[in-house]
Amino acid sequence: MHLASSRSLFLLAFFGCLLLMAAALYLEHVVGLEPCPLCVVQRICVIGFALVCLVAAIHGPGQLGRRIYAVLALLFAAAGAATAGRQIWLQSVPAEELDACLPGLEYMIEAWPLQEIVSKVFRGTADCAEVNWTLFGMSIPEWSLLGFIGMLGFCVFQLLRRS
């Protein structure tokens, strides 16, 4: 049995990420959902994963290169999965136990050191815990986690395949 080339698989993964970002932008600009800071971090992880896959598709690496690209992509997918998991957990916490909201990301970047921004973003707020939209009973971070699990599976496949 002939397996698809690394180049075509990385390109397919890149196009999958384009679809995920198109869905996120649709929900933001057409449906009117404003992304919370954790959503923005997840988008950055999807974009990072996509860029690694695009570079790998253009490069068309051999076995070692494929594994290096897979590890880099795995880092973005793992960070995204952790962020989505954190947001899912925040959605289970009563709103009164969370901070009310954070200032805008632009203000935080101008006013706070990076360490404080990261700490505040991952602590989460009531904004990150709101469930504003669902599909088949799953919230956006749950769908996001499902996407990141797919990305992780892709990376493991690329790491383990022999040809």
Q: Average pLDDT of 55-74?
A: 93
pLDDT digits (tens, 9 = 90+) for 4-45: 688 999 999 999 999 999 999 999 999 988 888 888 899 999
**How do the domains of the chain map onto residue ranges?**
6-160
pLDDT of residue 1: 38
Beta bridge partners of 138: 135
pLDDT digits (tens, 9 = 90+) for 82-130: 999 988 888 887 766 666 566 666 777 787 787 777 776 666 655 666 7
**Contact yes or no for 154/74 (Cβ under 8 A):** no
- Which residue type, as a one-letter code, is found at position 10? F
- Which residue type, as a one-letter code, is found at position 115? Q
Model confidence, pTM: 0.82
pLDDT at 59 over 70: yes
- Any idea which architecture 6-160 has in CATH? Up-down Bundle (1.20)
For residue 68, count CB atoms less than 10 angstroms from its CB and return exposed for 0-12, middle for 13-18, buried for 19 or more. Answer: middle
pLDDT of residue 3: 54
d(CA 123, CA 47): 23
Q: Average pLDDT of 132-141?
A: 81
Residue 46: enclosing H or E segment and its boundaries? helix 37-59
Tokens for 27?
Answer: 């929900």
